[in-house]
Structures are given as C-alpha cells and as structure tokens.
Amino acid sequence: MNFASDNWAGAHPAISQRLLAASAGFSAPYGASALDRKIEQQFNELFEREVAVYFVSTGTAANSLALAAVNRPGGVSFCHREAHMLEDECGAPEFFTHGARLAPVDGDNGKIDPENLKAEIERFPPNFVHAGQPMAISITQATEIGTLYQPEEIAAIADIAQTYGLPLHMDGARFANALVSLGLTPAEMSWKLGIDIVSFGATKNGCWCAEALVFMNPAQAKDLPFIRKRAAQLVSKSRFIACQFEAYLDDGLWLNLACHANAMAARLQNGIAHSKYARLAWHAEANEVFAVLNQTHADRLQQQGAVFYPWNPPRANPGLVADQEVLVRLVTSFATQAEQVDAFIERLG
C-alpha cells in the first residue's frame, strides 16, 4: 500500500532489459552515439517538428536549465504560488540562473489564473531598472495537486506570454499522465498551444533516471550545451539515458504505463469517495489523489502499512482542513496494483 510517490516505484522490466543490453560494448560518449541521435529523431517525430533535445538526470535540472537558457539580467519568471520549482527545488532555478527570481502567481486548483498573471507581469514595467525584467512563464502539467490545465487554459496563458514576449515553459514531470488523461498528442499539448520548452519527465513513469529538456525552437537552445556542461548535467555515458527513452517510447509503452497509473488513481479516488472516514479534497485528474482524513485515522492507516505523505493545504483553500484533520497525498504509479488499492480502501473503511 505504497502511495508515497511515483518516485518510489522501481523501473519497468522493458527499460531494465534495455539498460542491460546497452551495457555491453563501446559507444561514443556525451550524446554523440548513434543511439543518442536515434532518440533525438524520435523526439522530432513525437512532437511532429524539429526540436532540440537535451538529456539531464533530474527534473529539477530540467526546470532550472530551461530557465537558465532564457535568462536575462534581473530576470523574473512567473509560476504558480505552489509550483514545484518554487516550493520543492531548494532554490535551484535561482541558483542556475545566477539570481533570477521566481514570482508567484495565485490561482485556484493549482493553476495560474490568467488575470492574476497579467497583473503580476505588469508589476515589472519596461525600463524600470530597479524591478527587473520578466523573462519566462512556467506552468506545471499535471499540477502539484493533480489537476490539469485544459487546452484552452494553456492557450490563454500562451496568449499572455506572446503579448509580453515571454517564452512559456511546461514542467512535465508527469507529462505522460496528463497527456493520456486529456487524450492529446505531445504536439497538441505543447507547441500547438503555444508552449516553447518542455521538461519531459520519464523517471516517475517507469524509467531509472531519464529526463529530457525539449526546445520547440532549436535556436532558443543555442547556449544550452554550455549551460548544461557548466551545471554538471552533461552525462558522459549518455547512452544509458538514451536507451531508457528508446524502451520508454517503443510501441507506446510510456502511454500504457501512464494509463495504468491514472486508472489506479481513479480506483483509489472512487473508494475514498465512498468512505465514511475520509473525503476527497478535490477531483483528481491524473495519478495524484488528495484526501482529508482524521489525524487519528491517518496514523492508524500508516501503522497498518500504508505509506503516504501529509500535504500542506493550498492557500486558495484555507478552510479545507479542520482541527484534528490532515490533508494527505496518495500517488499511484505504473507499479501500483489493484489489490494494493483495494487493501487500502478496505482498511480506510
């Protein structure tokens, strides 16, 4: 009954086998192998255009280097107040941009409100040297609370980004989970809506350690090779990331794994909705479920072997959790089994 995080899950056997196969023989390092080139072409096909792809080892690195690539002196990037890059990356985006700031933007359901975004950008008037310069907007898909930006919501933020001449980044740590839930293609959820850069996550969805930074306009990434090297993210034996993506993308495996994780979340959500001892905090749209439990009941579940984390209530929902209650996050993955979900629901009551 492990619902702590999809980071806790291991690797899918197909990916492990591909890693084992790649461990034999010799291959050019630093992204120069034939396999690296093959995967770069696969990303072109995936996004239905020529893109620039850079492998990195973590999602934090992908997000941080995305902003570093579009950095400006006095730069300010806009993201949701509870975005992962703002609350859970230990200042890495500011560090790797050498001091650019993250400006929080409020919005319900874990999503940036377009009107709030415009108001925040307007706080930085052009040529006012003391304030700094807007340099990027970042959205998280799926969001930190398991909700999804609908296509029209992404397009609305992209319109604002274009109005102010700002690149739009998507933190896609759970890109696959969002994609299958919305029934879109990678192109339809990214550049066709106005996204410029994607942090394409795979580690949470069955890989060992595989993240990619994807630029829809390769010219925008002209300095990224040097930025990545300086950040110690140029992996020597990069074929071991490339081969994971080869297995991940082969025959739609990545989509199947995300579909399973989402289905397990829906099963879990349905059980909580019918529980006498818990209530759903909001509707889950990908593979993260949030529930409000009595603290004593939550403690009992953990004593019985359930693994999950307490979660800070969103600032937009100040009255969500009463005294003696706790908000918890329950995350499913490609490795979650229906029996584990059912065991949790049975103990929940």
- Condensed to tens digits (0 to 9), the pLDDT of residues 158-178 reads 999 999 999 999 999 999 999
Mean pLDDT of 227-252: 97
Strands 288-294 and 325-331: antiparallel
Q: Residue 4 — very low, low, confident or very high, per pLDDT cuts 50/70/90?
A: very high
Give yes or no for a contact between 214 and 52, defined as CB atoms under 8 angstroms apart.
yes
Half-sphere exposure (Cβ direction) of 246: Cα atoms closer than 13 Å: 19
pLDDT exceeds cutoff 90 at 317: no
Name the strands in the sheet holding 288-294, side by side, starting at the edge strand that comes first in the sequence. 278-280, 288-294, 325-331, 309-310
For residue 146, give every residue at least 6 positions away whose Cβ sits within 8 Å of its Cβ, in sequence order, or none: 110, 265, 282, 284, 285, 286, 287, 288, 289, 290
Give yes or no for a contact between 99 and 128, defined as CB atoms under 8 angstroms apart.
no
Give yes or no for a contact between 225 and 73, defined as CB atoms under 8 angstroms apart.
no
Least Cα distance to 205 among 147, 242, 259 occurs for 259
pLDDT exceeds cutoff 90 at 349: no
Which pLDDT belongs to residue 318? Answer: 87
pLDDT exceeds cutoff 90 at 53: yes
Q: What is the DSSP string of 190-239?
A: TGGGT--EEEEE-GGGT-SS-EEEEESSGGGGTTHHHHHHHTT---TTTH
Mean pLDDT of 34-44: 97
- Condensed to tens digits (0 to 9), the pLDDT of residues 59-100 reads 999 999 999 999 999 999 999 999 999 999 999 999 999 999
The percent of residues in the chain predicted with pLDDT above 70, rounded, is 100
Number of separate helices (H) and strands (E) present in the chain? 13, 11
Cα distance between residue 307 and residue 305, in whole Å: 6
pLDDT exceeds cutoff 90 at 127: no
Mean pLDDT of 308-317: 93
Q: Residue 257 — very low, low, confident or very high, per pLDDT cuts 50/70/90?
A: very high
CA-CA-CA-CA torsion sign (235, 237, 241, 246): positive
Q: Residue 294 — very low, low, confident or very high, per pLDDT cuts 50/70/90?
A: very high
Which pLDDT belongs to residue 195? Answer: 98
Q: Which residue has the higher pLDDT, 127 or 304?
A: 304
Q: Residue 212 — very low, low, confident or very high, per pLDDT cuts 50/70/90?
A: very high
Which pLDDT belongs to residue 9? Answer: 95
Give yes or no for a contact between 301 and 227, defined as CB atoms under 8 angstroms apart.
no
- Mean of per-residue pLDDT scores for the chain: 96
Cα distance between residue 185 and residue 183, in whole Å: 7
Both tokens of residue 242?
A: 């490339």
The one-character DSSP state at 27 is -
- Condensed to tens digits (0 to 9), the pLDDT of residues 109-125 reads 999 999 999 999 999 99
Both tokens of residue 124?
A: 């930085």
